């Protein structure tokens, strides 16, 4: 039986590679033996070689003295930036360059662009929204633009894209961060994204190997367990990683996930597993690029190991870089102990260090260039980049159903039209966009609308020829949230929503609207949240907008009015009525 399983996994793997292009090695590896790499490597002590394999956090500008000290004293390899502003990051980079003996690599976790972490940077649509787009060229352009933004800010590594196949709708941590629930869809979108980004010599890091999509727990808080067989993993979770390896991606991030089919050792996450990282990822899947750990302080690790010991275990397992800990001297000592015990060799450290240095040469980190502060914010928000954001939104809008063929909307000047935004009491950009194009009456109602409020709105809407309703302010992840519904004796009275923040009042209102033949519903939220509404099949027209942003609101209006084609496709299956690939193709007028 064991032999049959092994043969089966080999056949699956061979099949996947057969239909891929000839495998490309990461671009930066051509510099592995470069004279600059040789020169720097031979100038480093063993402790400094080890420090090159550690990327420390820079949570805010307040941590600058601590980060400078670690760079200057230990020669750490990289710094990871989180929430900040562009000028603050630039100033920190310039300061760190001043004290660095060896050029530092700077990294960011910018899955949908640097705006995910830098508040004055651009945020492009979430991965699930991108999953709805059929134009791979647009996605390449997005990746290229994100790469350009990284370069302008002095960033050399972006921990993106997420290539987890979200085949569990209840996943609390991946969900909208995934391109979809189909391995080929995820592989194609992620490949276009990373190729665009690496065309700018910014290292892409596919995450979270071997796949975080089919879990119901969050590795930030616990150690999730994947129960699939190896064959199932190869066909689903691992498939996008194989495709990206075949296309030469430079980096992979190991996930804090227990995978018994790949390593039966209890409480051992993939990020600390030699059978998973060395035997499977490096040897079997032939990945030669840089392997980064996920944050080493996450509970998926620290529930069973100290940070310091985890550094040694991570490198011994096959990781090249351990990220997100300030405990540099303690970790170096633990790694030295691992070398003394034979868990690691000096040759292992040399191989990993040379790879890091080769990447630094490829990405121009070796130049230690300071970031020019003049016009920084302006150059991170160019008109053409903001226009790209609009084009992505337009390409994603998905018409899930239009049973009465109401779209595109015609003769609105001869019809009495109401636009109702559910979830926001103030006017939405969806309402404003409709109002700019035709004469409409605007209504708003809160998330937790009472029966009295619903009855009032429904009565008001009775006399309209057309009702355009839109859903807003939902959670993007399948979590519940509390809503204050009243204050009694200065004590807030709260109710808890269902998954994605859907309330019973919201569902009741949508159910009532669905019974009316003149209703169009635009849904600006995670498509999985549709499952929280029971009677959507009764709706004559349903348009998916994926996220609650101005660009998606305005793109939806342009689709409704026939100004642009409707060409998006649903990237995940919701239920029997709405499946992956669903979406009507409507031509502009």
The CATH number covering residue 478 comes to 3.40.50.1700
Neighbours of 437 (CB within 10 A): 15
Query: Residue 578: inside a domain, yes or no?
Result: no
Residue 151 clears pLDDT 50, i.e. is over it: yes
Q: What pLDDT was estimated at residue 300?
A: 87
Contacts of 45 (CB under 8 A, 6+ apart): none
Q: What pLDDT was estimated at residue 99?
A: 98
Q: Are residues 509 and 423 in the same domain?
A: yes
Query: Residue 588: inside a domain, yes or no?
Result: no
Q: What pLDDT was estimated at residue 3?
A: 45
User: Hey, is 64 helix, strand or coil?
Assistant: helix
How confident is the model over 203-227, as a mean pLDDT? Answer: 90
| Domain end marker among 382, 413, 431 | 382
| Domain end marker among 354, 382, 410 | 382
Q: Are residues 368 and 435 in the same domain?
A: no
| Residue 408, preceding peptide bond in cis (omega within 30° of 0) | yes
125: tokens are 């649509």
pLDDT band at 6 (very low <50, low <70, confident <90, very high): very low
Residue 529, domain extent: 391-560
Q: Are residues 120 and 151 in the same domain?
A: yes
Q: What pLDDT was estimated at residue 480?
A: 77
Query: Residue 345: inside a domain, yes or no?
Result: yes
Q: What pLDDT was estimated at residue 240?
A: 98
Q: What is the pLDDT of residues 280-299, one digit of tens each?
A: 999 999 999 999 999 999 98
Query: Residue 196: inside a domain, yes or no?
Result: yes
* DSSP secondary structure of 8-31: HHHHHHHHHHHTSPSP---GGGGG
Residue 22 clears pLDDT 90, i.e. is over it: no
Percent of the chain surpassing pLDDT 90 = 88
Q: Are residues 216 and 361 in the same domain?
A: yes
How confident is the model over 511-532, as a mean pLDDT? Answer: 96
CA distance to 191, 303, 311, 398, 449, per residue, from 296 (Å): 27, 11, 8, 39, 43
Residue 15 clears pLDDT 80, i.e. is over it: no
319: tokens are 């990781």
Q: Are residues 374 and 453 in the same domain?
A: no
Query: Residue 173: inside a domain, yes or no?
Result: yes
Residue with tokens 């018994």: 260
Q: How far is CA 43 from the centre of its chain?
A: 38
Q: Are residues 434 and 331 in the same domain?
A: no
pLDDT band at 448 (very low <50, low <70, confident <90, very high): confident
What is the number of domains present in the chain? 2
Q: What pLDDT was estimated at residue 215?
A: 86
Task: Out of 448-452, 478-482, 492-496, pick the least confident.
Answer: 492-496
Query: Residue 585: inside a domain, yes or no?
Result: no
Surface-to-core class of residue 22, CB atoms within 10 Å of its CB (0-12 exposed, 13-18 middle, 19+ buried): exposed
Compute the distance between CA of residue 547 and CA of residue 126 in angstroms, rounded to an integer.
Answer: 8
Q: What pLDDT was estimated at residue 169?
A: 92
| Domain end marker among 382, 412, 447 | 382
Q: Are residues 299 and 172 in the same domain?
A: yes
How confident is the model over 67-96, as a mean pLDDT? Answer: 97
Query: Residue 570: inside a domain, yes or no?
Result: no
Task: Out of 6-10, 290-294, 386-390, 433-437, pick the least confident.
Answer: 6-10
Query: Residue 566: inside a domain, yes or no?
Result: no
Residue 436 clears pLDDT 90, i.e. is over it: yes
Residue 509 clears pLDDT 80, i.e. is over it: yes
Residue with tokens 């299956």: 573
How confident is the model over 103-130, as a mean pLDDT? Answer: 98
Q: Are residues 59 and 205 in the same domain?
A: yes
Task: Out of 7-16, 74-83, 338-347, 399-408, pick the least confident.
Answer: 7-16
Q: Are residues 433 and 377 in the same domain?
A: no
Q: What pLDDT was estimated at residue 222?
A: 86
Compute the distance between CA of residue 208 and CA of residue 175 in angstroms, rounded to an integer.
Answer: 13
Q: Are residues 305 and 414 in the same domain?
A: no
Q: What pLDDT was estimated at residue 4?
A: 44
Q: What pLDDT was estimated at residue 9?
A: 55
Q: What pLDDT was estimated at residue 13?
A: 59
Compute the distance between CA of residue 378 and CA of residue 376 in angstroms, rounded to an integer.
Answer: 5
Q: What pLDDT was estimated at residue 489?
A: 66
- Closest Cα partner for 579 from 140, 124, 185? 185
Task: Tell me whether strands 398-402 and 541-544 are parallel, antiparallel or unpaired.
Answer: antiparallel
The CATH number assigned to the domain holding 319 equals: 3.20.20.300
Provide the CB-side half-sphere exposure for 484 (13 A, CA). 6
Q: What pLDDT was estimated at residue 242?
A: 98
Average pLDDT in the chain? 94
Q: Are residues 210 and 316 in the same domain?
A: yes
How confident is the model over 78-101, as a mean pLDDT? Answer: 97
Residue 5 clears pLDDT 60, i.e. is over it: no
- Between vectors from CA 578 to CA 189 and to CA 404, what angle results, nearest 5°? 120
Q: What is the pLDDT of residues 317-326, one digit of tens each?
A: 999 999 999 9
Q: What pLDDT was estimated at residue 535?
A: 87
Residue with tokens 């996008």: 240
Instruction: Give long-range contacts, CB 8 A cutoff, 24+ apart: 580-584.
Output: 580/180, 580/181, 580/182, 580/185, 582/398, 582/400, 583/132, 583/398, 583/399, 583/400, 583/544, 584/399, 584/400, 584/401, 584/402
Residue with tokens 């980064």: 292
Residue 155 clears pLDDT 90, i.e. is over it: yes
Q: Are residues 366 and 482 in the same domain?
A: no
Q: What pLDDT was estimated at residue 487?
A: 58
Compute the distance between CA of residue 567 and CA of residue 558 in angstroms, rounded to an integer.
Answer: 12
Residue 11 clears pLDDT 60, i.e. is over it: no
């Amino acid at each position: 039986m064991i032999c049959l399983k092994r043969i089966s996994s080999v056949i699956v793997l061979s099949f996947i590679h057969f239909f891929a292009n000839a495998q490309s090695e990461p671009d930066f590896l051509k510099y592995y033996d470069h004279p600059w790499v040789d020169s720097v490597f031979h100038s480093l002590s063993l402790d400094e070689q080890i420090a090159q394999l550690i990327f420390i956090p820079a949570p805010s500008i307040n941590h600058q003295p601590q980060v400078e000290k670690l760079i200057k004293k230990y020669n750490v390899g990289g710094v990871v930036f989180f929430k900040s502003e562009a000028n603050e990051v630039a100033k920190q980079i310039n300061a760190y360059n001043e004290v660095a003996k060896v050029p530092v690599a700077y990294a960011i976790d910018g899955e949908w662009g640097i705006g995910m972490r830098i508040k004055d940077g651009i945020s492009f649509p979430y991965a699930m929204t991108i999953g709805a787009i059929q134009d791979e060229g647009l996605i390449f352009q997005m990746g290229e633009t994100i790469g350009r933004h990284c370069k302008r800010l002095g960033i050399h590594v972006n921990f993106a894209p997420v290539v987890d196949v979200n085949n569990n709708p209840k996943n609390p941590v991946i969900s909208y961060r995934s391109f979809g629930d189909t391995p080929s869809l995820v592989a194609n979108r992620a490949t276009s994204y990373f190729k665009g980004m690496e065309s700018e010599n910014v290292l892409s890091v596919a995450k979270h190997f071997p796949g975080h999509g089919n879990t119901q727990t969050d590795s930030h808080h616990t150690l999730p367990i994947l129960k699939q067989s190896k064959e199932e993993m190869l066909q689903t979770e691992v498939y996008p990683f194989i495709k990206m390896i075949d296309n030469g991606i430079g980096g992979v991030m190991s996930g804090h996930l227990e995978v018994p089919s790949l390593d039966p050792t209890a409480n051992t996450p993939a990020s600390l597993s030699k059978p998973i990282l060395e035997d499977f990822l490096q040897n079997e899947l032939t990945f030669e690029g840089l392997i980064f750990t996920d944050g080493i302080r996450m509970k998926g690790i620290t529930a069973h190991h100290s940070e310091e010991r985890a550094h040694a275990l991570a490198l011994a397992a096959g990781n090249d870089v351990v990220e997100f800990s300030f405990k540099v001297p303690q970790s170096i000592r633990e790694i030295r102990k691992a070398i003394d015990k034979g868990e690691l060799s000096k040759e292992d450290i040399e191989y990993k260090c040379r790879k890091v240095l080769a990447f630094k040469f490829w990405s121009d980190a070796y130049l230690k260039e300071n970031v020019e502060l003049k016009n920084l914010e302006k150059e991170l928000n160019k008109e053409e980049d903001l226009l790209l954001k609009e084009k992505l939104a337009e390409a994603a809008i998905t018409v899930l159903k239009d049973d009465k063929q109401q779209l595109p909307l015609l003769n609105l000047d001869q019809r009495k039209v109401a636009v109702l935004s559910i979830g926001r009491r103030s006017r939405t950009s969806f309402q404003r966009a409709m109002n700019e194009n035709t004469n409409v009456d605007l209504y708003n109602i809160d998330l937790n609308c009472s029966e009295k409020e619903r009855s009032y709105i429904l009565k008001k809407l009775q006399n309209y020829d057309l009702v355009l309703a839109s859903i807003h302010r939902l959670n993007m992840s399948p979590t519940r949230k509390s809503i204050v519904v009243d204050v009694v004796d200065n004590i807030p009275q709260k109710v808890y929503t269902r998954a994605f923040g859907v309330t019973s009042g919201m569902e009741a209102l949508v159910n009532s609207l669905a019974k009316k033949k003149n209703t169009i519903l635009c849904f600006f939220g995670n498509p999985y949240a549709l499952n929280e509404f029971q009677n959507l099949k009764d709706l004559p027209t349903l348009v998916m907008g994926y996220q609650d942003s101005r660009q998606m609101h305005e793109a939806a209006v342009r689709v409704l009015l026939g100004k642009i084609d409707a060409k998006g496709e649903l990237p995940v299956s919701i239920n029997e009525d709405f499946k992956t690939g669903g979406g009507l193709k409507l031509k502009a007028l």
